Amino acid sequence: MHWLKDTYNWLERRIQLEGPVKDAILHPVPKNTASWWYVFGSAAFTLLLLQVVTGILLAIVYVPSGAEAWSSLQILNHQLPLGWFLRAMHGWGSNFMVAVVLIHMAQVFFFGAYKFPRELTWILGVFMLLMTLGMAFTGQVLRFDQDSYWGLGIGASIASRVPLIGAPLVHIMLGGPIIAGATLTRFFALHVFVIPGMLLAFTGLHVWMVLKLGVNEWPMPGRPVNRKTYIKEYHDLAHNDGIPFVPGAFWKDLVFSGAILAAVAVCAAVFGPYGPTGQPDPTIIQTVPKPDFFFLWLYSVLSYLPANLETPFLLIAPVLGIAVLLALPFYAGEGEKSWHRRPVAVMVLALVAVSWGTLTHLATFTPWSPVMNAWSGATVPAKFVHNLSPTERQGAVVFQSKQCRNCHALGGEGGQRGPALDTVATRLTEDQLIRQVVQGGGNMPAYGTSLSPPEVTALVRFLTTLHPVGQPGATDASRADAETNSPPVKAQAH
Amino acid sequence: MNLRFFSATGFSALALAASLSFISGCDQAPGASRAEVVERPDQITDFKTLYTQNCAGCHGNDGRNGAALALSNPVYQAWVDDATLQRIISQGEPPTQMPAFAQSSGGMLTDAQVDALVKGMRTAWPANGAFNGLTPPASQPSGQSDAAQGQKTYQTACAQCHSKPNQQVTDPTYLALVNNRTLRTLIVTGRPDLGHPDWRGVVNGQVQPGYPLNDQQVGDIIAYLNSLRSDTPGQPYSPHSQQ
């Protein structure tokens, strides 16, 4: 085997990498950083490498042209052996990467790791997060299907709202006034060359600084960061109570990265690739486009915002958010790192996480939006159809054909814009139902002008049957009284 | 018994089986089947998909137990011809709630899709021998009909059920939402899914008095029901409470 050693020595004499590499892998780190909490950064890096490898393989087949992109994805899905798995790995890899990057960022914030002297590492990380989201968005565009088409349309209309330069901005983004072939080649260049190139360069610098400045020590309450003393304190900690980075801390990174890759593979194998959904053709109106999961929160926010707040929110909130993230290490560059002594930071993190989760969850079932095909596709549950009078049954037909179902659920199916009507008869009397249908109110339009009197009557008769078996419907006591007692006859004056 | 031998061979057999099933199952992983091609909505001609998306809401899953007519009723399938189905799906059936589905009438379905629905119904819900050798009343009205005679027929053939409070078909609100073709279709083909008899009048295995109805009788009953139509249907309160 001496020829192997000779070759190595020949190369090493010229490259001279052995020293720096040894320094990097054997440098001492504080013992308590060899923790399962410190594995997310390396996992994000592993996922980036996975995305690069699967991305290169996809680029061999993918055609970045408006006419052929969609069908080239079909070829990957259906004609190439395991092509679907490759697409699924890239798609799920992207989901995991966004998630792991966000967790990494939350952990760094939670552990106060952005404080002196690691301010620039944090700032680079903020830009890397933006690039990761940029990769996610441009990748969603390259999967040129209906979601992608309309998502891009929304992206363009957001850009168009920028004062003064909105129109030229859209023109640059789309390569013209509309989404066309030039759009896709632009996004291909962004997704394949521009953003990944920058992301890799930033990653290199980010990792370099981690090696040079050392892994952030485990935060201890009562050990605040002080610019004058921190470097010495950290040096003492790493050298007196430290272990070499490899293998002391590194094996946990390796295990976690392997587990993440395995999780991506399992998700890819079980859940399959993302779409493509229907063809990106604006003449197809039977579509309910939705963004991929990392932008679902924005979809919810925009649905709930009043129209006049949309532009301020879209243009001001991101700028403020990024500015806050960038300013953070300068505003709070010293002081306590431990979460025991940083209640505001903990609450901010919890608030952001809960808001993000809630908005994402809401976007999965869009309670604000009618289900436009519920009237023709969701059946009236059979238990509500049997034992109806002919008029009531016609009312059920009116209920379907006038598309009440698109906003009102029955039997768990239908829109959630309005209340579910399974037990509406226990809440409203016949008169109240008529009034509600005819005049609307409480977010419901008035249907008095679009329904004929027999339609309203039949519909309301049907609605009055919607109550549980043992529970009678609501009734107006005075009406029964008026039916049975004739009004008192006035005594005739003599 | 050599347990060690069994466990060793058992383990290798298990490992071999697992790796074989993994290799052979590569393209059958659950994820592979999720990569389906999404057709253009106007290219879909699969009956089940079209029926579920366009018809099931009113006519029920599998053509029964819906609010509107039971399309899977074999008597209906035997009685109605292709051209009528085609016309009703394409152009709707005003003034009933049946909307027009053809693009030529403002709907979303192509002519090929309407054809696929008609053909699909014929295949999914065959009508073999639904008439049991009897001849049903015609699908189109013929000759003169007589409302007075229809009232008499109604009293003998229909009133025993339809005079019950929950079975009123003489309600002007109901009559305003159906037309003569709906009435004829319901009288002749019934709603077997809801237990309502067809023109043969068989309830619980017994032919009811006055049945089966002939063509003239059906026309007369419809004429009688038409005579009950109101100029101002759908008033929710009885005249008494309006005083």
Domains, chain A, ranges and CATH? 2-365 (1.20.810.10), 374-477 (1.10.760.10)
pLDDT band for A486, please (50, 70, 90 cuts).
low
Do B92 and B166 lie in a common domain?
no
Contacts of B165 in chain A (CB under 8 A): 389
- B51 CB neighbours in chain A (<8 A) are none
Q: Say which CATH number the domain at B92 has.
A: 1.10.760.10
What pLDDT, on the 0 to 100 scale, is given for residue B242? 44
Burial class (CB within 10 angstroms; exposed 0-12, middle 13-18, buried 19+) of A462: buried
Contact B63, B72 (CB under 8 A): yes
- The burial of B83, by beta-carbon neighbours within 10 Å (0-12 exposed, 13-18 middle, 19 or more buried), is given as exposed
Report the residue of chain B nearest A378, measured CA to CA: B57
Residues A396, B67: C-beta atoms closer than 8 Å = yes
Q: Is B94 on the interface with A (CB under 8 A)?
A: no
Three-state SS at A30: strand
Average confidence (pLDDT) over A102-110: 96
pLDDT at A25 over 60: yes
Question: Residue B85 and residue B77: Cα distance in Å, rounded?
Answer: 10
**B202 and B157 within one domain:** yes
Together in a domain, B99 and B154 = no
Reference A243, options A438, A91, A416, A35; nearest CA is A35
Q: Does A448 touch chain B (CB under 8 A)?
A: no
CB B203 within 8 A of CB B197: yes
Q: Give the span between the Cα atoms of A203 and A317, in whole angstroms.
A: 26
Task: State whether B46 and B117 are in the same domain.
Answer: yes
Q: In this structure, is residue B119 part of a structural domain? A: yes
The residue among A396, A405, A401 whose CA lies nearest residue A466 is: A396
Structure tokens that stand for A289 in this block: 């486009």
B178 and B217: one domain? yes
Structural domain includes residue B158: yes
CA neighbours within 13 Å on the CB side: how many for A399? 35
| B168 and B118, same domain (yes or no) | no
| Distance of residue B138 Cα from the nearest chain A Cα, in angstroms | 23
- The reported pLDDT for the residue numbered B235 is 81
Residues 51-80 of A with CB under 8 A from B: 74, 77-78
- Name residue B191's beta-bridge partners: B196
Task: Find out whether A64 and A96 touch, Cβ atoms under 8 Å.
Answer: no
What's B153's domain CATH number? 1.10.760
Task: Report yes or no on B35 lying in a domain.
Answer: no
CA angle A354, A360, A361 (to 5 degrees): 90
Measured CA to CA in angstroms, residue A223 lies from A233, B136, B154 at distances of 10, 95, 96
The DSSP code for B27 is: G
The number of folded domains in chain B is 2
Chain A residues within 8 A of B35 when measuring between CB atoms: 77-78, 84, 87-88, 272-273
pLDDT in tens, chain B (243 residues): 444 544 556 666 666 666 665 555 555 678 887 777 888 889 999 999 999 999 999 999 999 999 999 999 999 999 999 999 999 999 999 889 999 999 999 999 999 999 999 999 999 999 888 888 888 998 888 888 999 999 999 999 999 889 888 888 999 999 999 999 999 999 999 999 998 999 998 888 888 888 899 999 999 999 999 999 988 898 866 655 444
A219 Cβ contact partners less than 8 Å away, ≥ 6 residues apart: A111, A112, A336, A337, A338, A339
B113 and B82 inside one domain: yes
Interior angle at CA B191, CA B187 and CA B192, nearest 5 = 125
Tell me the two tokens of residue A356.
Answer: 């993000």
- In terms of domains, do B119 and B162 share one? no
Is B138 inside a domain boundary? no
Higher pLDDT, A262 or B139: A262
CA dist B182 and B163 (Å) reads: 20
- What is the rounded CA–CA span in Å between residue B234 and residue A174? 55
First to last CA, chain A: 136
Is residue B27, in this structure, part of any structural domain at all?
Answer: no
What is residue A465's DSSP assignment?
A: T
Q: Is A460 on the interface with B (CB under 8 A)?
A: yes
Of B175, B177, B201, nearest to B188 (Cα)?
B201
Q: Measured between CB atoms, which of A373, A387, A452 is closest to B234?
A: A452
Question: Cα dihedral angle (A279, A284, A289, A292), rounded to 10 degrees?
Answer: 10
Output the pLDDT for position B209. Answer: 84
The confidence band for A487, taking pLDDT boundaries of 50, 70 and 90, is low
Closest of B97, B222, B207, B98 to residue B154, by C-alpha: B222
Query: Contact, A77 vs A84, CB < 8 A?
Result: yes
Judged against a pLDDT cut of 50, whether residue A364 lies above it is answered with yes
Please tell me if residue B50 touches chain A, with a CB cutoff of 8 Å.
Answer: no
Q: Which token pair is A30? A: 């504080």
Q: What is the pLDDT of residues A144-190, one digit of tens each?
A: 999 999 999 999 999 999 999 999 999 999 998 888 889 999 999 99
- CB burial of residue A488 (10 Å; 0-12, 13-18, 19+): exposed
As a whole number, mean pLDDT of residues A305-314 equals 92
Shared domain check, B152 and B120: no
| Residue B71 bridge partners (DSSP) | none
Bridge partners (DSSP) of residue A119 are none
Residues of B in Cβ contact (< 8 Å) with A374:
57
Contact A62, A139 (CB under 8 A): no
Q: How many CA atoms lie within 13 A of A359 on its CB side?
A: 19
**Do residues B160 and B218 both lie within one domain?**
yes
Q: Is A28 helix (H, G, I), strand (E, B) or coil?
A: strand
Would you list the DSSP string of A240-260?
HSEEEHHHHTHHHHHHHHHHH
To the nearest whole Å, the CA of A285 is away from the closest chain B CA by 9
Q: Is the pLDDT confidence value at A220 over 50?
A: yes
DSSP string, A114-133: TSTT-HHHHHHHHHHHHHHH
Chain A contact for B31, CB < 8 A?
A: yes
Cα B86–Cα B91–Cα B92 angle in degrees, nearest 5: 95
**pLDDT the model gives residue B25:** 54
* Of A42, A41, A28, A206, nearest in space to A108 by CA: A41
Interface predicted TM-score (ipTM) of this complex, two decimals: 0.86
For chain A, give the mean pLDDT.
92
- What burial letters (b/e) apply to A15-35, b meaning 16+ CB within 10 Å? eeeeeeeeeeeebbbbbbbbe
User: Domain residues for B198?
Assistant: 147-235
Largest CA distance in chain A: 138
pTM: 0.84
| Domain limit, last residue, from B124, B139, B173 | B124
In a domain, B199, yes or no: yes
Residue B183 contacts A, CB cutoff 8 Å: no
Q: Give the residue among A466, A35, A85, A82 at the shortest CA–CA distance from A272.
A: A85
pLDDT at A106: 96
DSSP B202: E
Calculate ∠ Cα B11-B12-B18, nearest 5°.
90
At B80 the pLDDT is 94
A375 and chain B in contact, CB less than 8 A = yes
HSE of A287 in the Cβ direction (CA atoms, 13 Å)?
24
- At B239 the three-state DSSP class reads helix
Selecting from A84, A400, A456 the residue whose C-beta is nearest the C-beta of B57 gives: A400
- What chain A residue is nearest to B22 in terms of C-alpha separation? A269
Same domain, B159 and B190: yes
Identify whether B216 is part of a domain. yes
- Name the residue among A35, A25, A45 with its Cα closest to residue A246: A25
Q: What would the pLDDT profile of A44-99 be if each residue is shown by its tens digit?
A: 999 999 999 999 999 999 999 888 999 999 999 999 989 999 999 999 999 999 99
Cβ pair B54:A81 closer than 8 A: no
What gap in Å lies between CA B211 and CA B214, rounded to an integer?
8
Query: What is the tens place of the pLDDT at every residue in A193-206?
Result: 999 999 999 999 99
The candidate with the shortest Cα–Cα distance to A220, out of A30, A375, A42, is A30
Residue B82 CB contacts under 8 Å (≥ 6 apart), including other chains: B118, B122
**Residues B226 and B156 occupy one common structural domain:** yes
Residue B104 lies in a domain: yes
